[in-house]
Amino acid sequence: MGLKIGAIASGGGSNLQSILEACKDGRIDGEVLVVLSDNPQAYALERAKKAGVPTAVVELNRDGSREDHDIKVVAALKEYGVDTVVLAGYMLMVTKVLLDAFPDRVINIHPALLPSFPGLHVQQAAIDYGAKFSGCTVHFVDEDMDSGPIIIQAVVPILDDDTAETLGGRILKEEHRIYPQALQYLAEGRLKIVGRRVLLDPASPGSGTLHNPSVSF
Amino acid sequence: MGLKIGAIASGGGSNLQSILEACKDGRIDGEVLVVLSDNPQAYALERAKKAGVPTAVVELNRDGSREDHDIKVVAALKEYGVDTVVLAGYMLMVTKVLLDAFPDRVINIHPALLPSFPGLHVQQAAIDYGAKFSGCTVHFVDEDMDSGPIIIQAVVPILDDDTAETLGGRILKEEHRIYPQALQYLAEGRLKIVGRRVLLDPASPGSGTLHNPSVSF
């Protein structure tokens, strides 16, 4: 068995869905062992149940610290034998507690071409800035927001008549493609972190590499 | 006659060369009327002479203000009847004096995908950050650095074995393509600035637009 994935989501979890499907059809050598949420109403939990995956809810205790919260999250994930934590629309910042429990094994996706447009509402931010391209970024998580070493990025154009919704939809399509791809690279042991860079060990000649896909708009 | 271009360069001016050639072969409806430099040794001045274009040198007076400098620059450009100012590797920040003399007619190119990696040494910065894509940006100039409304961007991949030189070469190839294209859009009167956005008036159906050139690496 490959990756033992624990997925954490606060909301709808469409990226979770793409990962569940990729595990099922073999594009990811791994299995989602538990889906955890801070939000008992998260649709991601429904997706898990439909796929026959156990769920766990760890609600935020406003009197406790974020570290206290992550101690419970780690305990829940460990209970299921998780070795890889996949954030799929998780709205809480993770702490050192979670990161130390799964070193270089906490992954996130962000709907922009980092370092451009970290944070929230980034589709509208990219449009308002007047950028001609945006995209998405799968990255290892560190203690800062949207800042860890980048595994894969994908690029999409921003069109003159885009809204946050149309751009977001175009980006989401790429998210559903690159998140499973990044996890498969991890499953294959092909990712090497050097400083801030993530280098990809070649699998077989010519695979997975797009040379000079230069585009402009 | 189309654009009456004054180009300003501090160094080699390879973008100047691409613009001179594009004017000559009709890809830009316009003419470079003068090449100005703050550096009497700039190779850009040689390129101008070889192309039969007049040159002007306005050296920085360290006792004077940047505004005083730009008063002289504007005078030199106006003397040649310039209506469009094209920065091509100009190492000085321009002031309101120049911008007010040529409103919405001062253009620059930057070798990164803004807002990522403004400033200097940006090819190395993109590599060190671990970004999977970089590119270049043609933009209107405002009073801040690398911050004005964006006309065109182009994207290139960053490869695992890239150096600042190899990445810089890949980006430069795109610069030589999009800078003339942006100037031609300007010559055709197709650029509309709305807030920070630059919208492109369609010329003829299907021209100049790459739909969904999604790429990843």
User: Based on the domain organization, do A16 and A97 belong to the same domain?
Assistant: yes
User: Based on the domain organization, do A70 and A167 belong to the same domain?
Assistant: no
CA separation for the pair B20, A210 (Å, rounded): 32
Containing A126, the helix (H) or strand (E) segment is helix A122-129
Asked whether the beta carbons of A155 and A215 are under 8 A apart, the reply is yes
User: Based on the domain organization, do A180 and A163 belong to the same domain?
Assistant: yes
Asked whether the beta carbons of B123 and B148 are under 8 A apart, the reply is no
pLDDT in the model for residue B204: 59
User: Based on the domain organization, do A87 and A126 belong to the same domain?
Assistant: no
pLDDT in the model for residue A95: 96
User: Based on the domain organization, do B149 and B74 belong to the same domain?
Assistant: no
Residues of chain A whose beta carbon is less than 8 angstroms from a beta carbon of chain B are 113-117, 127-133, 135, 149-150, 152-157, 160, 170, 173-174, 177-178, 181, 195-200, 209-217
Q: Which of A71, A103, A135 is the last residue of a domain?
A: A103
Asked whether the beta carbons of A30 and A23 are under 8 A apart, the reply is yes
Closest CA relative to residue A155, chosen from A185, A178, A182: A178
Asked whether the beta carbons of A103 and A132 are under 8 A apart, the reply is no
Rounded to an integer, the average pLDDT of B111-125 is: 97
Q: Which of B103, B123, B148 is the last residue of a domain?
A: B103
Residue-range definition of the domain harbouring residue B204: 109-217
User: Based on the domain organization, do A59 and A150 belong to the same domain?
Assistant: no
User: Based on the domain organization, do A114 and A211 belong to the same domain?
Assistant: yes
User: Based on the domain organization, do A113 and A95 belong to the same domain?
Assistant: no
Closest CA relative to residue B7, chosen from B26, B43, B27: B43
Q: How many domains does chain B have?
A: 2
Asked whether the beta carbons of A135 and A113 are under 8 A apart, the reply is yes
φ, ψ for residue B37, nearest 5 deg: -140, 150
Residues of A in Cβ contact (< 8 Å) with B149: 130
Which of A157, A177, A181 is the closest to B212 by Cβ? Answer: A157
| Structure tokens, B78 | 């106006």
CA separation for the pair B157, A197 (Å, rounded): 14
pLDDT in the model for residue A213: 47
CA separation for the pair A141, A92 (Å, rounded): 12
CA separation for the pair A141, A99 (Å, rounded): 8
Q: What is the pLDDT of residues B33-91, one digit of tens each?
A: 999 999 999 999 999 999 999 999 999 998 899 999 999 999 999 999 999 999 999 99
Q: Which of A60, A81, A103 is the last residue of a domain?
A: A103
What ipTM does the predicted assembly reach?
0.91
User: Based on the domain organization, do A74 and A167 belong to the same domain?
Assistant: no
Q: What is the pLDDT of residues B44-53, one digit of tens each?
A: 999 999 999 9
User: Which CATH number characterizes residue B167's domain?
Assistant: 3.40.50.170
CA separation for the pair B19, A153 (Å, rounded): 32
Mean pLDDT score across all residues of chain A: 93
Catalytic residues of B: 110
φ, ψ for residue B152, nearest 5 deg: -140, 145
**pLDDT higher than threshold 80 for residue B165:** yes
pLDDT in the model for residue A215: 59
Specify the pTM.
0.92
Closest CA relative to residue A4, chosen from A108, A78, A84, A73: A84
| Structure tokens, A209 | 């590499």
Of the pLDDT bands very low, low, confident and very high (cuts 50, 70, 90), residue B180 is very high
Percent above pLDDT 70 for chain B: 93
Number of residues assigned to chain A: 217
Of the pLDDT bands very low, low, confident and very high (cuts 50, 70, 90), residue B207 is very low
Preceding amide of B149 cis, omega within 30 = no
User: Based on the domain organization, do A162 and A183 belong to the same domain?
Assistant: yes
Rounded to an integer, the average pLDDT of B126-135 is: 98
Please enumerate in sequence order all residues whose Cβ is within 8 A of that of B77, keeping only pairs 6 or more positions apart, or say none: B6, B34, B36, B85, B101, B102
pLDDT in the model for residue A205: 52
Residue B162, Cβ neighbours under 10 Å: how many?
Answer: 19
- CA B1 distance to own-chain centroid: 21
Q: Mark yes or no for CB contact A153/B131 under 8 Å.
A: yes
Of the pLDDT bands very low, low, confident and very high (cuts 50, 70, 90), residue B216 is low
User: Based on the domain organization, do B43 and B86 belong to the same domain?
Assistant: yes
Residues of A in Cβ contact (< 8 Å) with B155: 133, 155, 213-216
Q: Mark yes or no for CB contact B216/A117 under 8 Å.
A: no
Q: What is the pLDDT of residues B132-157, one digit of tens each?
A: 999 999 999 999 888 999 999 999 99
Q: How large is the angle between the packed helices B14-24 and B164-187, nearest 10 degrees?
A: 40
Residues of chain B whose beta carbon is less than 8 angstroms from a beta carbon of chain A are 113-117, 127-133, 135, 149-150, 152-157, 159-160, 170, 173-174, 177-178, 181, 195-200, 209-217
User: Based on the domain organization, do B91 and B139 belong to the same domain?
Assistant: no
Question: How confident is the prediction along chain A (217 residues), in pLDDT tens digits per residue?
Answer: 699 999 999 998 899 999 999 999 999 999 999 999 999 999 999 999 999 999 999 999 988 999 999 999 999 999 999 999 999 999 999 999 999 999 999 999 999 999 999 999 999 999 999 999 999 999 999 998 889 999 999 999 999 999 999 999 999 999 999 999 999 999 999 999 999 999 999 875 544 444 444 555 5
CA separation for the pair A27, A203 (Å, rounded): 15
φ, ψ for residue A57, nearest 5 deg: -120, 125
